[in-house]
Structure 1
Amino acid sequence: MSHFTRIKTSIRDLSTLQSVLTQLDVSWEKANAPIKGYQNETNNAELVIHQPNSIDIGFAFNGQSYELVADTSFWRQPWSIEGFLDKINQVYAAQLLDQELKNLGFSTVSYVKSEQGVIDLVAEKWVA
């Protein structure tokens, strides 16, 4: 029998998560609604990713962070679950760093992602 699995993450900001998913070309829907699983099983999520097999995955807030909620037996994404979370975490961290640098008065000079997945972020700050 299949069931939903909840995988903890360190993702705390929903708008940054939405931006990351968009950047990774993952279609998502913001909906505080149940996601569909095997045999019409449901689980609430704040963000839903519909899959071609009609078994949704999503992110649900647990009070501290957003957990990935999925019926792992029906995972149909271009990456493995671990690869999916690795990509999300990498881009999420880079976006948070970029936001924090801007808060500190820096401006981003370049943001380059290599074929190996390494992100180089260069920022500068002019001091008078």
Structure 2
Amino acid sequence: MSHFTNLKTSFKNLLHLENALNKLEISYKREKKITNLNNSKIYNINLVIPQSNNYDILFNWNGEEYELVIDASFWIQPYPVESFINKLSQHYANDVIITESQKIGFQPIKSKQHVDGSNTITLQRWNLNNSVAIV
């Protein structure tokens, strides 16, 4: 018996989510979803991770965030669901930090992954004749 689960996430930006999936080398495809609301069409993009057993993984846009829709009994990814979400969240956060900091003039100069799985990103911005580094 199939039992789909919707897991709330904090993934609100499609570009950052796609970048995180790419960093993890996870193949996905975009799926355009059309919703009719009060006689107007709303177009959303969902992400689908195909699985060989045809029980695909879906990131479904609910209007606020991308929900992870899975059938846990048919999960065939290389790591457990919790580990998948943790790894994806970490890459998503790194992408947000780097992208948003670049918008205000910072550039990443060093990134280090620690034994405990955490990351340190060093950013730098030149301001007149001084540089400011944020770790």
TM tier, smaller: 0.7 to 0.9
Structure 1 position 97 matched with structure 2 position 97: yes
RMSD: 1.5
Deviation string, structure 1 residues 44-99 (Cα, Å, up to 9, x no partner): x7100011212101100111100001111101111111110000111111110111
**Equivalent residue pairs, number:** 117
Max Rg structure: 2
Misfit runs of 4+, over 6 Å: none
Task: Name 1:32's counterpart in structure 2.
Answer: 32
Q: 1:104, CA displacement in angstroms?
A: 1.6
Task: Name 2:3's counterpart in structure 1.
Answer: 3
TM-score w.r.t. length of structure 2: 0.80
Structure 1 unaligned spans of 5+: 34-44
Task: Name 1:86's counterpart in structure 2.
Answer: 86
Supply the distance in 1 between the matched residues of 2:17 and 2:115 (Cα, whole angstroms).
Answer: 22
| Higher-strand-fraction structure | 2
Q: 1:111, CA displacement in angstroms?
A: 2.1
Structure 2 unaligned spans of 5+: 34-44, 129-135
Structure 1 position 70 matched with structure 2 position 70: yes
Supply the distance in 2 between the matched residues of 1:111 and 1:68 (Cα, whole angstroms).
Answer: 28
TM-score w.r.t. length of structure 1: 0.85
